[in-house]
Amino acid sequence: MAIAGLVVLVFAVGGASAQRGAPSQSARELAPIDLTGYWVSYVTENWRYRMVTPAKGEYRRIPASPAALPIINAWDPIADQKAGNQCKSYGAAAIMSVPGRLHITWQDADTLRIDTDAGTQTRLLRFTDRASSARPQPTWQGESSARWERVATPDRGGSLRVVTTNMRAGYLRKNGVPYSERATVTENFDVAPLPDGGTLLLVTSIVDDPVYLNAPYIVSPHFKKEPDGSKWDATPCSSTW
């Protein structure tokens, strides 16, 4: 009798667990990959456009539209600084290419948070729709909706896809190559093991902008995972370096 009771209890617990596992699981519980932790930019590509400020007027490898050229040629970093626009090159369309560190955490069960030490920016990647129907004011980091792209392999895995809109107009590069408020950023976050045992985060970013781009601007900066935040060095936005 006691054994029969134990068997019933075992299956009851298992059944309840399986029920919880269906539609009510949070994004954090469903995560096929772990993006949390500290990550550092490893600048092995686009070095000349990321580690230093290129010359005024250079927009090579960015498919800038004719409408962008007057803005590119009028770039004035001092004026940006004075106008309080020193974060224009730290917006969501550019921030992942700015050399620095990321701290990725779960703000809540359905919101992934990315803090950057370069420019002290915060991105919130929401897996659920926001309650308010009113469109908020554009911000540097905009509104990001996220979803997991899972694969059905036995070893699991997958990717995080993020679409960001409602950004303030900003710069794709430090030297004033613009994107508009109508731009959309579509990103995939993937992880890969490194041969030395480390982990790499790869962010493939597509910027579409009907105003200042003739074609999508696609880059894929990558980051190495760090054991802790001991090298975190928060610095404010600057338009001059």
The Cα 51–Cα 2 span in angstroms is 70
For another protein, the closer of residues 52 and 83 by Cβ is 52
Verify binding: residue 52, another protein, rule CB under 8 A.
yes
For another protein, the closer of residues 61 and 130 by Cβ is 61
For another protein, the closer of residues 49 and 179 by Cβ is 49
Among 57, 136, 229, 236, binds another protein (CB under 8 A): 57
Verify binding: residue 67, another protein, rule CB under 8 A.
no
For another protein, the closer of residues 10 and 79 by Cβ is 10
Verify binding: residue 49, another protein, rule CB under 8 A.
yes
Q: Are 159 and 203 in contact (CB under 8 A)?
A: no
Verify binding: residue 197, another protein, rule CB under 8 A.
no
Q: Which two tokens stand for residue 162?
A: 């993020």
The Cα 41–Cα 95 span in angstroms is 11
For another protein, the closer of residues 88 and 222 by Cβ is 222
Verify binding: residue 195, another protein, rule CB under 8 A.
yes
In the complex, the smallest distance separating the C-beta of residue 171 from another protein, rounded to whole angstroms, is 14
Among 35, 72, 95, 96, binds another protein (CB under 8 A): 72
The DSSP bridge pattern shows strands 158-165 and 143-150 to be antiparallel
Q: How many whole angstroms from its chain centre is CA 91?
A: 10
For another protein, the closer of residues 72 and 112 by Cβ is 72
Instruction: Round to the nearest angstrom and report the end-to-end CA distance of the chain.
Output: 76
The DSSP bridge pattern shows strands 143-150 and 122-126 to be parallel
Verify binding: residue 99, another protein, rule CB under 8 A.
yes
Q: Are 180 and 193 in contact (CB under 8 A)?
A: no
The Cα 8–Cα 1 span in angstroms is 11
The Cα 172–Cα 95 span in angstroms is 9
For another protein, the closer of residues 165 and 238 by Cβ is 238
Verify binding: residue 229, another protein, rule CB under 8 A.
no
Among 132, 155, 227, 230, binds another protein (CB under 8 A): 155
In the complex, the smallest distance separating the C-beta of residue 134 from another protein, rounded to whole angstroms, is 31
**Number of residues this chain uses to bind another protein (CB under 8 A):** 78
Residues in 6-25 at the binding interface with another protein, rule: CB under 8 A = 6-7, 10-11, 13-14, 17-18, 21-22, 25
